[in-house]
Structure 1
Amino acid sequence: MVFGRKKDQAASVDAPTEETTKPVGKNAPTPKRSVQQAQNQRPLVPTDRKLARAAQRNSRLEAQNRMRLANETGDERFMAARDQGPQKRFARDYVDRRFMVGEYLMFAVFAFLIITLSLTKYPQVSAYITFALWFLVVAVVIDSFFMTRGLKKGLVARYDAVDRGVVWYAVMRGMQFRKLRLPKPQVRRGEEPRL
């Protein structure tokens, strides 16, 4: 008895544990399919719907706040995908530095509707107002044409090419009232576009 060990002690000392027998890396045994599938399974419907809804609402509000702040400060990381890119930033700055006739087109159309509805008894006055509105539309088209020519020259000089959709993006921005544009203008009228 003095020289021998008990069987339990001998088994615990001599038998390698499970942790030591598991090879690491490429030599590891392939786990069973049922084990892999169990690891990848997530419930389709969360167990606590109220918490999941609150978390989803919080993440949505956080994303909206980031986008709103980016639209005010000009931080392109959190802007919408349609506003990202160096050429679109140049186009925004190029439009914002100019006075565009198209800024006031919506106000003119709104005034035209009010005046024509109130002056139905005077068709001659309505005809003059219609002529003035068409004159404004032609002025917007001409102004947009000259703006796009200058924008294309600036884009080719700076980036060697014009990306698809940038010119139309600039035209649509030029039709919006300056204070209502999103992203907010980052240059004053007459300033050069940012690099």
Structure 2
Amino acid sequence: MIFRKSETPPNPEPAPLNAHPGSKGRPTRSRKEAEAARRRPLVVDDRKEARRRDREKASQERMEAQQALMTGDEKKMPLQHRGPQRSFVRDVVDTRRNIAELFFPIALIFMLVALVLPLIRPDLTTLLSTGMIVVLWGGIALCVVDSLFLRKRLRRDLTERFGEVQQGLVGYGIMRAIQIRRFRLPRPQIKHGEQPR
């Protein structure tokens, strides 16, 4: 018996069911397949690599936060500096000249002089120690009085603008007022004497 090959052409490929333009051309995957594709192990096999990645990520976040403190970009600032009320408090503090920011450099210079001068002139030791006590305690008293005025102003201005004073905002402003303006973070975005934004 002789068998002959069929001369009929092979069946053409069936057209996809969704052959209209814009279709993805394949069936939607099941929920089980989608979840399996997203699944990651809770504990990474290579712990050293995972630690390295975590360190890099934390370092990147710290750099972005530091840059935000310099430029005033609130979106990337640490949480304790975000929000319109905290921004307003910073502006109120930065617009005024605070006694504490002037007192601390002067007190530091005075203490250095009080340490060095007795080595040169031992007879002035009593006078210097008395003067140092007067200057230090007098400066601290002035800083406390100035902080009370700042506290009153912050409470008044925050109530006028926002209707209420969030807990911790006045302390946030007083701590900022104690710092030397040049070293404050976030950096001041307003000059002395300007109106707070």
TM-score, with normalisation over the residues of structure 2?
0.72
The one of 158, 161, 167 aligned to 1:155: 158
On the 8 A contact 2:111/2:132 being kept in 1, the answer is no
Letter in 2 for 1:74: G
TM superposition shift of 1:181: 0.3
TM-align CA RMSD: 3.1
Residue in structure 2 matched with residue 142 of structure 1 by the alignment? 145
Match of 2:170 among 167, 171, 175: 167
Match of 1:177 in 2: 180
Q: Is the 8 A contact 2:100 2:179 kept in 1?
A: yes
Partner of 2:85: 87
Query: What amino acid maps onto 2:179 in structure 1?
Result: Q
Contact 2:158 2:165 survives alignment (8 Å):
yes
Cα drift, residue 114 of structure 1: 2.2
Q: Is the contact between residue 108 and residue 133 of structure 1 (CA under 8 Å) also seen in structure 2? A: no
Aligned to 2:20: none
Check whether the contact 2:159–2:165 (CA below 8 A) recurs between aligned residues: yes
Distance 1:41 1:187 in 2: 48
Alpha-carbon separation, structure 2, partners of 1:73 and 1:118: 40
Shift of 1:175: 0.3
Out of 188, 193, 196, which is 1:193 matched to?
A: 196
Size of the aligned set, in residue pairs, is 166
Give the counterpart letter for 2:164 in structure 1: A
**Deviation at 1:150?**
1.2
Deviations 1:125-148 (A, max 9, x none): 220122012111111111111111
Distance of 1:59 and 1:100 partners within structure 2: 38
Q: What 5-or-longer segments of structure 2 have no aligned partner? A: 1-26
- Which ranges of structure 1 fall in alignment gaps of 5 or more residues? 1-19, 29-35
Partner of 2:134, secondary structure, is helix
Amino acid at match of 1:67: A
Contact 1:105 1:175 in 2 (8 A): no
Asked whether 1:53 is paired with 2:56, we answer no
1:113 paired residue number: 111
4+ residue segments displaced more than 6 Å: none
Partner of 2:16: none
Post-superposition Cα deviations, 1:64-95, rounded to whole Å, max 9, x if no partner, equal: 12101211121222111211121111110000
Amino acid at match of 2:129: S
1:157 partner amino acid: E
Q: Percent identity?
A: 32
- Amino acid corresponding to residue 182 of structure 1 in structure 2: L
Give the letter aligned to residue 196 of structure 2. Answer: P
Q: Tell me, in whole angstroms, the C-alpha distance in 2 between the residues paired with 1:113 and 1:42.
A: 59
Q: In structure 1, what residue type is equivalent to 2:142?
A: A
Pick aligned residue for 2:75 from 74, 77, 85:
77
